[in-house]
Amino acid sequence: MSKPPLDRHALGRRLSKLANASTADLVRLQRTEPCATPARRIGLTGPPGAGKSTLAGHLALHRGRDRRLGVLAVDPSSPRTGGAILGDRIRMDELAGSAEIYIRSIGSRSANDGLSDNLPEMLDAMDEFSFDEVLLETVGVGQAEHAARVQVDTLALVLLPESGDVVQAMKAGIMEMADLFVVNKADLPGAQKMATDIQRISALSRRAADAWRPPVLLVSSSMPETVSALSAAIDHHQAWLAGTDRRTALLQARARYRLRRLIERRTADAVAALEAKTLEAPLEEQLERALQAIRNPG
């Protein structure tokens, strides 16, 4: 059964509405029924400067040839104004001419975990518009920011040659969450050594006997065959995941993350709205006023 043409304007309006929604709005906008055919979700994460945006563009061009593919790229927002440069869209201009590829850059806003406010709802919206696949690019992350793990089905950690100190810092955090390790810009010196170091560190991680073993891939956007190999590795992981019962736990983790972020944002809004005189009251009264504001926003 063929899909209806992608209504880019309607999708853009829907994503903008969700991006700007308050926590109360999100509850009202929530779909009552989950999508019967949700899009596959692929995540690209890694430290700043790892080349995620350029790699995402080439990967999207490769995978978008035979499917409807969306790209959601998170850019850091200014802590003062909340605005974002949204440079990811600039770096992905090559994709603009594809009828079945849609790109959206979104600011991280108050999120500090590599993602964006209301991202779970925006990912759900991509399902409403019959996307086969969504590629999520996080902002630059470090050891502790691994929230992208539960938002995607397949998570690729992108690293650069000669970033050994970064790998050492990450080994107790996000490296344990990745499904694929990508040594990007593999045409640079030190790429093979970096791949060997990652394999050594990954081998030390405790995994169940039936667990997925993350491969280490040498990739360069200037070498199309390596992008093709990365795409094949993603398909391999997706096929493995489909043969397990892990998706139920993943969906539960996504629901927990969504609820926690809603509570965190509503709490932040309630505290920010407290009157100055309330902050001079005893702590117990401050807490009670804040809890009342959380229960009754607006």
- Other C-beta atoms lying within 10 Å of the C-beta of residue 201: 18
Mean pLDDT of 198-207: 79
Residues 144 and 280 in one domain: no
CA distance 125 to 16: 11
Residue from 162, 215, 156, 154 nearest 186 by CA:
162
pLDDT digits (tens, 9 = 90+) for 28-84: 877 767 777 899 999 999 888 888 989 999 999 999 988 999 999 988 754 444 444
Query: String of b and e for 223-245 (b: at least 16 CB within 10 Å)?
Result: eeebbeebeebbeebbeebeeee
Statement to judge: residues 164 and 262 lie in one domain: no
Does any domain span residue 82?
yes
* Domain match, 271 and 238 both: no
Higher pLDDT, 2 or 249: 249
Q: What mean pLDDT is predicted for residues 82-109?
A: 64
The reply to whether 286 and 184 lie within a common domain is no
First to last CA, the chain: 45
On the question of pLDDT at 96 being above 60, the answer is: no
* Rounded mean pLDDT, 91-120: 73
pLDDT band at 239 (very low <50, low <70, confident <90, very high): very high
Per-residue pLDDT, 149: 87
Task: Give the pLDDT score at 88.
Answer: 47
Helix axes 246-272, 119-128, angle to 10 degrees: 130
Residues comprising the chain, all counted: 298
159 with 194: CB under 8 angstroms? Answer: yes
- Look at residue 252 and tell me if it is in a domain: no
- Residue 147's pLDDT band (boundaries 50, 70, 90)? confident
Q: Is residue 251 part of a domain?
A: no
Distance CA 236, CA 247 (A): 16
* Residue-level pLDDT at 99: 66
- Could you tell me which residue, 282 or 76, shows the higher pLDDT? 282
Q: What is the pLDDT of residue 9?
A: 94
182 & 44 share domain: yes
- 3-state class (DSSP) for residue 193: helix
Q: How many angstroms separate the CA atoms of 59 and 44, rounded?
A: 10
Give per-residue burial for 181-197: e unless 16+ CB within 10 Å, then b: bbbbbbeeebbeebbeb
- Using 50, 70 and 90 to split pLDDT, how confident is the model at 142? low
Give 149-181 pLDDT, tens digit per residue: 889 999 999 998 876 666 665 655 677 889 999
270/229 same-domain check: no
Best CA proximity match to 231, nearest among 137, 135, 159: 135
Q: Residue 173: which domain range?
A: 8-244
pLDDT greater at residue 110 or residue 259: 259
Averaged confidence pLDDT in the chain: 84
The lowest-confidence range among 157-171, 187-201, 204-218 is 157-171
Phi, psi of 266 (to 5 degrees): -65, -35
Residue 171 sits in the same domain as residue 279: no
Of the chain, the percentage scoring pLDDT greater than 70 comes to: 84
Most confidently predicted of 195-204, 234-243, 244-253: 234-243
pLDDT of residue 183: 95
Burial code (b: 16+ CB inside 10 Å, e: under 16) for 110-139 equals: ebebbbbbbbbbbbbbbbebebbbbbbbbb
> Does the pLDDT value for residue 145 go beyond 90?
no
Rounded to two decimals, the pTM is 0.86
Q: How many domains does the chain have?
A: 2
Residues 31 and 173 in one domain: yes
Q: How far apart are CA 86 and CA 106, in angstroms?
A: 7
Q: Please report the pLDDT score of residue 293 as a whole number.
A: 87
Residue 75 corresponds to which tokens in the numbers above? 């850019």
| Residue 107 pLDDT | 83
Q: Is the pLDDT of residue 197 over 70?
A: yes
CATH number at residue 131: 3.40.50.300
- The yes-or-no verdict on residue 92 having pLDDT over 60 is no
